[in-house]
Structure 1
Amino acid sequence: MSMIDQTSPDETAEPGVLSPVGFVGAGSMGAPMVERLLAAGVPVHLYARRAEVQARFAELGAVIEPSLERVAAAAPVLIVCPFSAAQLAEIAGGPDGLLAHATPGSVVVQHATVPTEAIRQLAADAAARDITVLDAPISGTSAAILAGRLTVLIGGAAAAADRVEPLLAAYASTIVRTGEVGSATTVKLINNLTFAAHVQTAVAAVQLGEKLGIQDRDLLAAVTACSADSVVFRHLQAIGGVEEFLAAAGPYLRKDVAAVEEVAAALGLDTGLLGEVVQSGPLPLTAQRR
């Protein structure tokens, strides 16, 4: 993992003391991040709408803030983990959003996978207020977060990345810098389209095995020990099969494929073979087939 030796995550923090973090988006992916931050001794100011989430994290030591305004003012580093671009806009924008109330010089770490233009617009709006946005999509599962093995891609200013990497290390074992803001999301979208294409080919392989009389569990046990082994096949094996995988990952796959389609359409790009495989595979992952 990329780390900066003996670098305090915030200019005002004492040596060896981790900067306070404001956190919004303690859902299926964000909640284990908050757990890891608290376990690492990071002071966390959390905004959450659901009472059960507030109670759970208050018991773990988080400071529960009553509004986005309060959480924005509480910490120099703000981490947001929404599900969609619409949620990101609601959290960050408008008179009640984070950008309107964050302290100048703050850093916003944005973990959602959303269209690239949404990230660039957010960064531009933030820069006008002397706030830095880091484009930081993630790759991994909630279990990987709890184990501290998440992958985080970072696009944006190097100085801001230096500040936040010691904090992200609470839940990420791999941090990859990709260049300017927006670049990390672009890389993640390409990764996600490739992953979706692989899901389609893996499911097609399972279906072919069924037609030839091979039970799913036997095929997956064999393939994961052979040259075609992959993350997708291991996910299918671990979760119990195609239907279980689609139920758990389907909403995220469809959202990510839609984001790629939106970016490609805006730029007039053809996603080529990857797009064809995702479109024509056995699972309904594209807008045309939902």
Structure 2
Amino acid sequence: MARSKVPGEVHVGFIGTGVMGKSMAGHIQQAGYPLHVYTRTAAKAEALVKEGAVWHESPAKLAAACDVIITMVGYPKDVEEIYLGEDGLVANAKPGSTLIDMTTSSPLLAARIYEAAEAKGLHALDAPVSGGDIGARDGKLSIMVGGSSEAFEAVRPLFEQMGTNIVLQGKAGAGQHTKMCNQIAIASGMMGVCEALAYAKTSGLDAESVLKSIATGAAGSWSLSNLGPRMIAGDFEPGFYVKHFIKDMGIALESAKAMGMKTPGLALAESLYQETAQNGFDEKGTQVLYTYYLQA
């Protein structure tokens, strides 16, 4: 994809239009890029199709029609199948196309995809994001990118439709390693946020009033400001699923172990979220951990 091309000349494929993907794809469509979509549950793409997106029956057919393909799916196994499978993107994309995986996935898998793409005359970037459903909706995601600077600069205009903090972190896999840093920070932080607000409730304080006092001080964080009100309101619907957070923490634990690094905070958070999932909350938002601290 040449950076000089105008949006209308660059056909963009988007695979995975879930909680975040649908908003991300929508921003690209609204910017004037011809949009092509594929998702295993066709109903999730209906709104985009009604606005003019072209539906494809498989990743392979989508790849053959696009200059840039973006994926935002669930798990590393999904990423591997979509990119490296017989009917996947690497085998079916047009020469010179750019493949961008925005799923939170394995750094090692990102490097494998990069190498396979390069061998086929394709460009590949790993570009996981942070900001949840709110950041996706508002086009204010943080985007962490791994890959070549040339490929990054060529698709920067696309990233700018979805995010405001866009950083090339290094070679293939660097975006995913950066996202692991992000998830490690969130994991321990979420324990603190949930524990603090549960303490406020248990001690008889007005949790909303407590939030006003601590959200702008040294304890302030994105999770406290954005998910704290949801906890207090008993709103545990997903901006980011518990099951997906457990997946991310698993990747981070494996990566840290491979480097010989200890991550006790991450290990504790992962164990608490595993228990939360076993209690039937795997399809809820990560803020549901708050309920763990309110158990008698």
Cα deviation, residue 265, structure 1: 2.6
- The amino acid that maps onto 1:254 is I
Counterpart in 1 of 2:39?
Answer: 48
Count of matched residue positions in the alignment of Structure 1 and Structure 2 = 277
Structure-1 separation of matches of 2:276 and 2:205? 31
Q: Shift of residue 255 of structure 1?
A: 1.9
- 1:242 CA displacement: 8.5
Where in structure 2 are the equivalents of 1:157-196 lying within 5 Å? 157-196=148-187
SS in structure 2 of the partner of residue 169 of structure 1: helix
1:179 CA drift (Å): 0.8
* Distance in 2 between residues matched to 1:19 and 1:189, nearest whole Å: 31
In the alignment, is residue 210 of structure 1 matched against residue 210 of structure 2?
no
Aligned to 1:252: 244
The 3-state SS of whatever aligns with 2:167 is strand
Residue identity matched to 1:208: Y
For structure 1, the residue ranges without an aligned partner over 5 or more in a row are: 1-8
Q: Is the 2:208–2:229 Cα contact (8 Å) retained in structure 1?
A: no
Task: Sort the Cα spacing of 1:263 and 1:208 in 2 relative to 1 into closer, same or farther, 3 A.
Answer: same
The match for 1:285 among 244, 266, 273 is 273
* Distance change in 2, residues 1:26/1:75 (3 Å): same
Q: Indicate whether 1:99 and 2:79 are aligned.
A: no
Task: Give me the whole-angstrom Cα distance separating, in 2, the residues matched to 1:232 and 1:21.
Answer: 32
Q: What is the aligned-residue RMSD (CA, Å)?
A: 2.5
Runs of 4+ in 1 over 6 A off after TM superposition: none
- Work out which of the residue numbers 97, 101, 112 in structure 2 matches 1:110: 101
After TM superposition, the structure 1 stretch with the greater mean CA deviation from structure 2, 123-132 or 76-85, is 123-132
Which residue number in structure 2 is paired with residue 36 of structure 1?
Answer: 27
Aligned to 2:286: none
Residues 141, 118 of structure 1: CA spacing in aligned structure 2 closer, same or farther, 3 A cutoff? Answer: same
Q: 2-side partners of 1:21 and 1:247: how far apart?
A: 27
Corresponding residue number in structure 2 for 1:132: 123
Matched, 1:76 2:76: no
Shift of 1:170: 1.4
- Matched residue type, 1:163: A
Distance 1:254 1:51 in 2: 26
Contact 2:84 2:91 in 1 (8 A): yes
For residues 147 and 40 of structure 1, what CA distance do their matches in structure 2 show?
Answer: 14
The answer to whether 1:230 aligns with 2:218 is: no
In the TM superposition, residue 192 of structure 1 has moved relative to its aligned partner by: 0.6
Q: Deviations over 1:13-43 (max 9, x none)?
A: 7457552111111111111111111111011
Q: 1:62–1:151: structure 2 CA closer, same or farther, 3 Å change rule?
A: same
Distance 2:23 2:277 in 1: 33
In the alignment, which residue of structure 1 is the partner of 2:254?
262
Change (3 A) 1:184 1:41: same
Secondary structure in 1 matching 2:273: coil
Greater helix content: 2
Unaligned runs of 5+ in 2: 279-296
Contact 2:193/2:228 (CA < 8 Å) preserved in 1?
no
Normalised TM-score (structure 1)? 0.86
Displacement of 1:240: 3.7
Is this contact kept in 2: 1:117–1:182, CA < 8 A? Answer: yes
CA contact (8 A) 1:236 1:242 kept: no
Task: Say whether the 8 Å CA contact 2:184–2:249 is kept in structure 1.
Answer: yes
Map Cα deviations across residues 100-130 of structure 1 (whole Å, 9 max, x no partner).
1011221111101112112112212222212
Q: Which letter does structure 2 place at the counterpart of 1:36?
A: H
Letter matched to residue 273 of structure 2: L
TM-score by structure 2 length? Answer: 0.84
Q: Over residues 213-241 of structure 1, what are the superposed CA-to-partner deviations in whole Å (9 max), with x where a residue is unaligned?
A: 22333322321143322111112333243
Q: Kindly indicate whether residue 263 of structure 2 is the aligned counterpart of residue 271 of structure 1.
A: yes
